[in-house]
Structure 1
Amino acid sequence: MTQQDLPNAGFFRRLAALFYDTLMVIAIEMIAAGVLVAILQALQAAGIFNVAPYLDISDFLTRHPIFSPLFSLYLLAVWIYFFVFFWTRAGQTLGMRAWKLQVRQLDNSPITKRQALIRLATSLFGLGNLMALVDSKKRGWQDYFAKTQVVVLAKAE
């Protein structure tokens, strides 16, 4: 089977990969938040930083009018970077690798950062994959906007 002959991924395989990736992103987000909390805790212990009048660093990061949105943007950037990094490097996230999926351009070349960002923006947090249930080409909503396809790799790949 050549690269041109690879079948497009169906909904359930995409869903399984998305589930794996969701677990990975949650773990990475927890680590990213933990690193920031540890840094702020060290700065507070050194007397360089004070969270008053907030109860603790967690309260500060979730309720401060300036740092709360910045913290949310930081976590969003980590989430975006995860997908853009993996999709543009190998065409696979860790969940996609487990389910033998790969995202590619329509000509089978690797996707660009722009295409990866378009896929994320139009995926509707994974709901765009529902379109694969009714689409004859088994493409998700995000695939049409980004001009990409998700294929099932042969066992040897």
Structure 2
Amino acid sequence: MPAVTPAFPSPSAASAPRTPPLRRRLLCMLYDGVLLFGVLMLASAVYVGARPLLQQAGLDHPYARQAWIFVVLALYFSWFWQRSGQTLAMQTWRIRLENRAGHAPGWTQALLRYVLAWLWLPPAAAVGHALGLTKGPFLGVLAVGLLIWMSLAWLDPRRQFLHDRLAGTRLTDLRPQQS
């Protein structure tokens, strides 16, 4: 049986990039969510402006709106990640996304990470639908699914999220090391 190689080699503890604590990552995600209000408002305005054309073409459907938002978010995150490895919130919280070589990921890897980060949603939604839940209880099941997905970071030796491991990326803490 061949040996399993880790996603990231294990350099000495002194030179290994530090993973930001889960609390800081969650606060950074919350801040990114606040910043996305403006991005999503602009994306919604574009969609509403294009809606008459979409209706004429028979493409105005709730799934079309959802797909539009998904694409806008993919472009937002991937553009920042491939450019500098940091969204605006990540710059504030001094967290950086890197590939195995320690550089910002390319477009393909950034888009892959974005798509993989949504993998918690289908199982949680399937459970909610299987239980016949709607509105609040359904959102509760989605929240539990997200919490389970995030808690998987505790099973990873480097405390990385599953989507980072699968995409070959990692989050690093840019704060100076305290002695």
Q: Is residue 87 from structure 1 mapped to residue 110 from structure 2 by the alignment?
A: no
C-alpha displacement at 1:146, in angstroms? 0.8
Over aligned residue pairs, what C-alpha RMSD do you find?
A: 2.9
Partner in structure 1 of residue 170 of structure 2: 149
Superposed CA offset, 1:82-106 (max 9, x none): 1100100010011111110000012
Partner in structure 2 of residue 71 of structure 1: 65
Identify the match of residue 114 of structure 1 among 105, 108, 118: 108
Normalization by structure 1: what TM-score? 0.72
Q: Which has the higher contact order (CA 8 A, sep 6+)?
A: 1
What is the 5 A alignment of 1:48-59? Answer: none
Whether the 8 Å CA contact 2:160–2:171 is kept in 1: the answer is yes
> Equivalent residue of 2:64, what SS?
helix
Q: Is residue 25 from structure 1 mapped to residue 19 from structure 2 by the alignment?
A: no
Aligned counterparts of 1:67 and 1:40: Cα–Cα separation in 2: 9
Gaps of 5+ in 1: 42-48, 52-59
Q: Is residue 138 from structure 1 mapped to residue 159 from structure 2 by the alignment?
A: yes
Partner in structure 1 of residue 24 of structure 2: 13
C-alpha displacement at 1:40, in angstroms? 5.2
Gaps of 5+ in 2: 1-14, 121-145
Q: Is residue 123 from structure 1 mapped to residue 79 from structure 2 by the alignment?
A: no
> Equivalent residue of 1:131, what SS?
helix
C-alpha displacement at 1:120, in angstroms? 1.4
Give the 3 Å change call, closer, same or farther, for CA 129–95 of structure 1 in structure 2: farther
Number of aligned residue pairs: give it.
135
What percent identity do the matched residue pairs reach? Answer: 23
C-alpha displacement at 1:130, in angstroms? 2.5
Q: Which runs of 4+ in 1 moved over 6 A?
A: none
